[in-house]
C-alpha cells in the first residue's frame, strides 16, 4: 500500500492567448539600418544602453547591485568588458583553451544525495540542476565500445542472412525450421512464454491458418452502441415474458437478421429486418451453419424492425482486425477434422446508434421513403457459374486448392 503526501500540488492552467490586431500593415518595406557606425562608444556605455526598461525595474536590481553587502561583493552581469564587442569569454570566468579546475572542497556541493562518490580524475563537471545526469567518461567509452561491437555483430549477421536468402537450400531449411518450431510449440506448451506476464502459462494451443473457403466474402464488425444495445432490449423482453422467454430463439433471430443501408449526402442510416416465425428462424440458422448441400429452395419473409444511425469506418490495413473461429478436435474416429483456428480479415467496422428524428423534414422524408416494410429472402445453393466466380476470388489466397479459371462470358454473368 503506497502512501501519498497531503501537500497541495500547484497546478498552472496553460492556455493559448490570441491577440486581435486590427492595425493596417505598414506602408513601407523593411529597411536595414546600420547600427553604431558613426560615433564609436566604449563597451561599458554600450552595455548600459542595451538595458531596456524591463531590466531597470525593481525585480532586477539584485542582479546589478551588491548581492552581499557584508562581504562587499559587487556583481554586474551586463557590464563585462570585451564579451559583447570582442567575444572574450575570459570576462565571465572562461579561460581560453583551458578548462577551469574544480576545487576539491567544491566537489561536495555538486554531488547529489542519491549519487555515489565522484571520481577525482573527472574534472569536466557541467553545472546542471540534477548532477546525476553527469555520466562517467570511462563508462561512456566502454558503452560506446560495446555498442560498436554489437553493431558489428548485427551487421555481420545481416550480411550472412542476405547471402543465405539467395540460396535455395537455406530457404528450404528456414521453412522447415519454422514448421518444426511451430509443431514443438503445439505439442509442448511449456515452451510458450508470455512476452510481458511471466506468471501466465499456456493452457492450450491451436495452429492459426486462414480460412480460404470464406475469403470470397466481405466481413465487417457490427456494434450496437449506447441506447441501441441489443442486450438492453433483450433484458427488457425477458422481464416482460418471464418463463415464456426463449433465449435460443432470440439469439438465432439476431444472428440471422438482415441489414440494408440507406446512404445520402446528409448521412448514413441502416434498416434491420428480422424473422418473427420461430420455425423459420431455426431452419434458416441451421441452413446457414450447415456444410451439407440442400437442393430445396426456401422463402423467408423478413419484417422491418427499426432504423439505426450508422457510422462506417473502413480499415486501410487488411489485417488490422481478424475474426478467429476455433475448431476443436472431433470425437468421432472417422472424422478428419483437426484442432485448428481459422482467421478471416475484417474489412471495417460499423457503429450503430439509436435513430432519432432530424430537425430537417426533408431528411426524415428521405429516410421514410427508402425504408421497406419487409424483404422476401430466398435461400438456395449457388449455380456452377457462381461457384466459378467464388473459386476465382479464393484462388488469390489459395491457388493450390482453388482454380481461378477463365473470365466469365457476358452471357454467364447474368445467369
Q: How far apart are CA 50 and CA 79, in angstroms?
A: 10
Helices (H), 1-118: 43-49, 61-64, 104-110
The yes-or-no verdict on residue 125 having pLDDT over 70 is no
Q: Where are the domains of the chain?
A: 43-133, 135-189, 209-381
CB 260 within 8 A of CB 273: yes
Which residue, among 192, 222, 195, 193, has the nearest Cα to 323 in the 3D structure?
A: 222
Interval 231-240: pLDDT, tens: 888 888 888 8
Rounded to the nearest angstrom, the gap between the alpha carbon of residue 169 and the centroid of all alpha carbons in its chain is 39
Interval 355-369 mean pLDDT: 89
The yes-or-no verdict on residue 15 having pLDDT over 50 is yes
Taking residue 233's Cβ as centre, other Cβ atoms within 10 Å add up to 15
- pLDDT of the residue at 261: 92
In three-state secondary structure terms, 148 is helix
Q: How far apart are CA 232 and CA 248, in angstroms?
A: 17
> 0.85 exceeded by the pTM?
no
Long-range contacts of 242-245 (CB under 8 A, 24+ apart): none
- pLDDT of the residue at 11: 64
- pLDDT of the residue at 234: 87
Taking residue 402's Cβ as centre, other Cβ atoms within 10 Å add up to 20
> Residue 110: phi, psi to the nearest 5?
-90, -5
Q: Which of 110-114, 136-140, 354-358 has the lowest mean pLDDT?
A: 136-140
3-state class percentages of the chain: helix first, strand second, coil last, to nearest 5: 35, 20, 45
CB 220 within 8 A of CB 270: no
Which grid cell is 215? Answer: 475469403
Residues whose CB is less than 8 angstroms from the CB of residue 219 and which lie 6 or more positions away in sequence, other chains included? 323, 344, 345, 346, 347
Q: Could you tell me which residue, 51 or 306, shows the higher pLDDT?
A: 306
Interval 208-233: pLDDT, tens: 889 988 888 999 999 999 888 888 88
Residue 350: pLDDT band by 50, 70, 90 thresholds? very high
Rounded to 10°, the helix 168-187/137-165 angle is: 110
Hey, CA dihedral for 325, 326, 331, 337, is it positive or negative? positive
Mean pLDDT, the chain, whole residue set: 76
The yes-or-no verdict on residue 246 having pLDDT over 80 is yes
Which grid cell is 149? Answer: 561491437
Residue 352: pLDDT band by 50, 70, 90 thresholds? very high
Interval 37-62: pLDDT, tens: 566 777 677 666 665 555 555 555 55
pLDDT > 90: percent of the chain: 18
Amino acid at each position: 500500500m503506497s502512501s501519498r503526501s497531503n501537500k497541495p500540488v500547484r497546478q498552472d492552467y496553460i492556455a493559448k492567448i490570441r491577440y486581435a490586431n486590427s492595425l493596417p500593415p505598414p506602408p513601407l518595406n523593411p529597411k536595414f539600418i546600420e547600427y553604431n557606425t558613426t560615433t564609436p562608444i566604449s563597451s561599458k556605455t554600450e552595455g548600459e544602453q542595451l538595458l531596456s526598461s524591463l531590466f531597470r525595474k525593481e525585480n532586477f536590481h539584485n542582479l546589478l547591485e551588491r548581492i552581499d553587502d557584508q562581504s562587499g561583493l559587487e556583481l554586474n552581469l551586463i557590464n563585462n568588458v570585451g564579451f559583447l564587442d570582442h567575444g572574450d569569454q575570459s570576462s565571465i570566468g572562461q579561460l581560453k583553451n583551458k578548462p577551469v579546475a574544480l576545487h576539491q572542497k567544491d566537489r561536495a556541493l555538486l554531488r547529489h544525495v542519491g549519487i555515489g562518490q565522484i571520481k577525482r580524475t573527472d574534472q569536466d563537471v557541467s553545472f546542471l540542476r540534477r548532477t546525476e545526469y553527469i555520466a562517467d567518461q570511462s563508462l561512456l567509452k566502454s558503452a560506446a565500445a560495446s555498442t560498436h561491437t554489437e553493431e558489428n555483430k548485427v551487421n555481420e549477421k545481416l550480411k550472412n542472412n542476405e547471402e543465405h536468402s539467395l540460396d535455395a537450400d537455406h530457404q528450404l531449411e528456414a521453412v522447415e525450421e519454422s514448421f518444426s518450431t511451430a509443431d514443438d510449440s503445439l505439442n509442448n506448451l511449456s515452451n510458450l512464454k508470455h512476452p510481458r506476464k511471466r506468471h501466465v502459462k499456456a493452457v492450450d494451443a491451436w495452429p492459426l491458418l486462414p480460412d480460404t473457403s470464406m475469403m470470397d466474402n466481405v466481413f465487417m464488425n457490427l456494434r450496437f452502441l449506447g441506447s441501441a444495445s441489443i442486450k438492453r432490449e433483450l433484458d427488457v423482453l425477458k422481464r416482460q415474458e418471464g418463463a415464456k422467454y426463449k433465449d435460443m430463439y432470440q439469439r438465432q433471430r439476431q444472428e440471422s437478421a438482415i441489414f440494408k443501408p440507406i446512404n445520402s449526402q446528409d448521412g448514413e442510416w441502416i434498416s434491420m429486418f428480422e424473422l418473427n416465425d420461430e420455425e423459420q428462424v431455426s431452419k434458416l440458422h441451421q441452413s446457414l451453419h450447415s456444410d451439407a448441400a440442400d437442393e430445396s429452395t426456401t422463402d423467408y419473409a423478413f419484417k422491418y424492425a427499426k432504423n439505426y444511425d450508422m457510422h462506417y469506418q473502413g480499415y486501410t490495413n487488411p489485417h488490422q482486425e481478424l475474426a478467429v473461429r476455433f475448431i476443436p478436435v472431433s470425437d468421432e474416429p472417422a472424422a478428419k477434422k483437426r484442432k485448428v483456428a481459422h482467421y478471416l480479415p475484417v474489412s471495417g467496422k460499423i457503429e450503430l446508434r439509436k435513430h432519432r428524428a432530424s430537425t430537417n423534414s426533408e431528411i426524415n422524408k428521405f429516410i421514410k421513403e427508402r425504408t421497406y416494410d419487409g424483404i422476401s429472402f430466398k435461400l438456395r445453393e449457388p449455380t456452377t457459374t457462381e461457384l466459378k466466380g467464388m473459386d476465382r476470388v479464393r484462388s488469390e489466397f489459395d491457388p493450390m486448392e482453388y482454380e481461378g479459371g477463365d473470365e466469365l462470358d457476358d452471357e454467364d454473368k447474368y445467369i
